[in-house]
Amino acid sequence: MMRLFCTILLASVLCSALGSTGCAGPSKHAAVKAMLPMPGFAEGWRSDSGVRIYTKDTLFEHINGEAELYFPYGFVVAATARYERTRDGDDSVTADVYEMGSLLDAFGVYSNYRAPDKAVPPFGSEGFYDDHQLMFYQDKYFVRLTARGSWEQSAEALLACGSAIAHRLPQPAVQPPELTMLKIDGVDPRTIVYLGESVLGYAFFEKGFVADAVLDDHRVRVFVIVASDDADAVTQEYIDYLEENDATPRWIQTSSGDCMLVRDPLHRGTVVNKLDTFIVGVTGLDDPTHGLPLVERMIPRIRRSTSP
């Protein structure tokens, strides 16, 4: 009996010491751990340290300074592994798989890192890579790979590792349907960002999309605010903010409904239109009226993307 008690006590102490990498619910995180190939992702590559798990309480230990970015997107858990080349331990690939709240949330995290001028990998819903890093998202997972060391063919290793992970993720690799709201002429689709908080820097715009667009040879920014409860109340908060900062909005009637024109204190000329639970607009304009054609192109897109 004493031997059994000592065994249980020892196991308990070991679990506490190991924390996120030890006995903390191996079955709970088995699915995300299985997305990292073991013992390696290709011949000549091996991970001797296995998979480490990070939760919301410990993520800062892995990416201190960046962890806060992930939380508004429903972060669940992260799994990471470090692979080394068996013939040269100084060369390595570190693979991180982040489980987010949804497909849209995974895109949201990815969109904060996106590099539109980089090469695109042949897997995932969307991604980019160079000789030093590879990132992509698929289903509700965001994947981040980093190569370290001074060696040739690092991009090939990143692609091999990324492909091995992508095959383990849920299929098919699709994009969030919400992105169709901004697929209009003039908007660069590779600049679309989904923000989980403080869109345009305003706390009352809790979540939504922004993207770059070209209008009359000038770059402007389009946005779609998702007001899940009361778009009227959110719009009023914006109006209150504008008036407190001596920015007086004016309203005009268009084919898409009443549009608000204003010189935003932070973003120059701005046009805004409210549609059901969305607030649609264009900012960064010399003249707010110049943004009306973009708004009127977005409204039908939003209606189609949200219709039953």
Dump pLDDT digits (tens) for 49-71. Answer: 899 999 999 999 999 889 999 99
> How many other C-beta atoms can be found within 10 angstroms of the C-beta atom of residue 210?
21
State residue 194's pLDDT score: 98
State residue 25's pLDDT score: 44
Structure tokens at 20: 């996120």
State residue 268's pLDDT score: 95
Separation between Cα atoms, residue 113 and residue 228, nearest integer Å: 26
Q: How confident is the model at residue 5 (pLDDT cuts 50, 70, 90)?
A: very low
Which residues touch 172 (CB under 8 Å, ≥6 apart)? none
Mean pLDDT, rounded, for 282-295: 95
State residue 17's pLDDT score: 41
Cβ(71)–Cβ(104) below 8 Å: no
State residue 80's pLDDT score: 98
Of 75, 73, 24, 82, the closest CA to residue 53 belongs to 24
For the whole model, what pTM was predicted?
0.88
Q: How confident is the model at residue 90 (pLDDT cuts 50, 70, 90)?
A: confident
Question: Percent of the chain scored above 70 by pLDDT?
Answer: 89
State residue 248's pLDDT score: 93
Separation between Cα atoms, residue 211 and residue 163, nearest integer Å: 29
Dump pLDDT digits (tens) for 210-262. Answer: 999 998 888 999 999 998 778 899 999 999 999 999 999 999 998 878 899 99
Considering 14-18, 47-51, 119-123, 298-302, the range whose residues carry the highest mean pLDDT is 119-123
Name the one residue in this structure whose structure tokens are 């090469």: 119
- Phi/psi at 88 (5° precision): -160, 100
| Domains of the chain and any CATH numbers | 25-166 (3.40.1000), 177-306 (3.40.1000)
What rounded mean pLDDT belongs to the chain?
89
State residue 73's pLDDT score: 98
Q: Would you say the C-alpha torsion 197, 200, 205, 211 has a positive or negative sign?
A: negative
**Residue 126 predicted with pLDDT over 90:** yes
Cβ(208)–Cβ(198) below 8 Å: no
